Amino acid sequence: MLSLYNSLSRSEEPLPDQKKIRLFVCGPTVYDYLHLGNARTYVFFDFFAKFLRARGYDVDYLQNITDVDDKIIARAMTDGTSTDKVARFFTDAYFEDMEALGVDAVSTYAPATQFISQIVAQVERLIDKGFAYKIEGDGWYFDIAKDPEYGKLSGRTAAQAEDGVSRIDDSIGKRNKGDFCLWKFTQTSLSDFEPRWPSSLGPGRPGWHIEDTAISEFHFGPQYEIHGGGVDLKFPHHEAEIAQQESASGLEPFVRIWMHTGALTVEGKKMSKSAGNFVTIRDFLEKEGRHATALLRWMAFSHHYRSPFDFSERALAQAKKELETLYTRHMELHGCTPEDVPAEWMARFNDALNDDLNTPKALSVLMEATKGGTMAPGAKLMLFSLFDTTFGFDIGKTASLTDAISEEITGKFEEYKTSRSNKQFVQSDALRKELEGLGYEVRDTEDGSMIVKKFF
């Protein structure tokens, strides 16, 4: 049985015993290109949704798109364009990046600007129930003092929420420093760039947190099974979501299981443009070329989804080495007929993933099972297929592109072996370098020389 770590209860819990699973994951704020930290989260939840579906679950995977936000306004002002153009451009870029990474499990994308009426209605309910108050000339705010359970996800009390000021939440008129904005009134200073909607709340735009609960309530109702996102969103964003939805509906829990991916650093440091270590998905794809998607997915799954992930040249080199080993092993199976994987190995694979999706342990099963004479070639081929389907590596597809070594390469390799056998080392070294330049590696072993395709 699959168990998942619930950030709310701080313990592992079984997946709800039902076939229909509603999954919401916080989507991007579309003001810039996405970075590797975003990629880790979206690649993981893409895998998670596909994994559940492969086990027979009916997964309704919903993701919002924050297309109205302070950061979008700031980008529009800097670029001298409209917020709509900024949002549309980077929404398109987001979809292009996800397609390149093989992320395609989302059932529904929900841009915030298409749910203004639902957002307004939810704010109105919070006002009617006494959870929201108005700051003249500013907006409507949620009063965290009215929610005695505020902080239960992150473990912070309302008094500890002083550092929860985020996005458009900063205001001198707030009752509590941790109060957050539900609806921001139109600001005269931003009038040329700020999007606005007329409403019963006053002309303005949504706060950051309220869009998620309005969207999820519209699609899923006031309660559902799983909510995911990066650990950086746990507080204040996800904390605010719980407070809003449970206060508006009077029902709890808002979400049965909360799942958070660990933080990503670059060479041991927090990623930021000012530090010069900001790596976008596009940067990575362009630099690594054809095998970039498999590399990124391999590195992501080599770490448990809840653990920190340090992206470094060393980690990248290790991923290349491991993938190259697997590509070579797969090529050696060319022409084999697939057959069932032994039950022992299937059990080890399933046990790893049943334990809170322990992907590093599952990958170790693949590395161990496909080496040497561990199992029959046909069973190895089937295991590769299983991992490709589960994790989206496309090892089989990638390796099959180079199964056949051309006659030209084979001829040069035969010349190499002859030269080496005749101890003509100058000639053999020259041929080795020539083959390396053509993308092949010559390996000399006790059993003789062999040639393999280099993938990286």
User: How confident is residue 171, by pLDDT bands cut at 50, 70 and 90?
Assistant: confident
Tell me whether residue 45 is exposed, middle or buried, using C-beta atoms within 10 angstroms of its C-beta: 0 to 12, 13 to 18, 19 or more. Answer: buried
Residue 160's pLDDT band, with cuts at 50, 70 and 90, is low
Query: Can you name the CATH fold of 3-261?
Result: Rossmann fold (3.40.50)
- 440's enclosing H/E stretch is strand 440-445
Cis bond upstream, residue 236 (ω within 30)? yes
CB contact at 8 A, 328 and 450: no
How far apart (Å, rounded) are the C-alpha atoms in residues 154 and 447? 58
Amino acid present at 366: L
Contact present, 222 and 251 (Cβ < 8 Å): yes
CA distance 427 to 420: 8
Kindly write down the DSSP assignment for every residue of 397-409, as one continuous string.
Answer: HHHHTT-SPPHHH
Q: Does domain 265-400 have CATH number 1.10.10?
A: no
**Confidence band, pLDDT 50/70/90 cuts, at residue 443:** confident
pLDDT of res. 190: 63
- Beta-strand runs (E) in 146-296: 180-185, 204-206, 224-230, 255-261, 264-266, 269-270
| Cβ pair 224, 24 in contact under 8 A | yes
Instruction: Report CA 412 to chain centroid distance, whole Å.
Output: 44
Mean pLDDT computed over 119-136: 98
- pLDDT tens, residue by residue, 249-265: 999 999 999 999 999 99
* pLDDT-above-70 percentage for the chain: 94
pLDDT in tens, 356-398: 999 999 999 999 999 988 999 999 999 999 999 899 887 876 6
Pick the range with the lowest mean pLDDT from 147-161, 340-354, 401-415: 401-415
User: What average pLDDT score do residues 60-82 get?
Assistant: 95
Measured distance CA(183)–CA(138) in Å, rounded:
9
Q: Can you give the residue ranges of every domain in the chain?
A: 3-261, 265-400, 407-453
Q: Mean pLDDT of all residues in the chain?
A: 92
Examine the pLDDT at 137 and tell me if it is beyond 80: yes
DSSP structural state of residue 64 = E
* Separation CA 281–CA 300 (nearest Å): 13
Return the structure tokens found at 373: 């004479």
Asked whether the domain spanning 265-400 has the same topology as the one spanning 3-261, the reply is no
Task: Read off the pTM.
Answer: 0.90
Hey, CA dihedral for 233, 236, 237, 238, is it positive or negative?
positive
At 401, the pLDDT band (50, 70, 90 cuts) reads very low
pLDDT at 398: 62
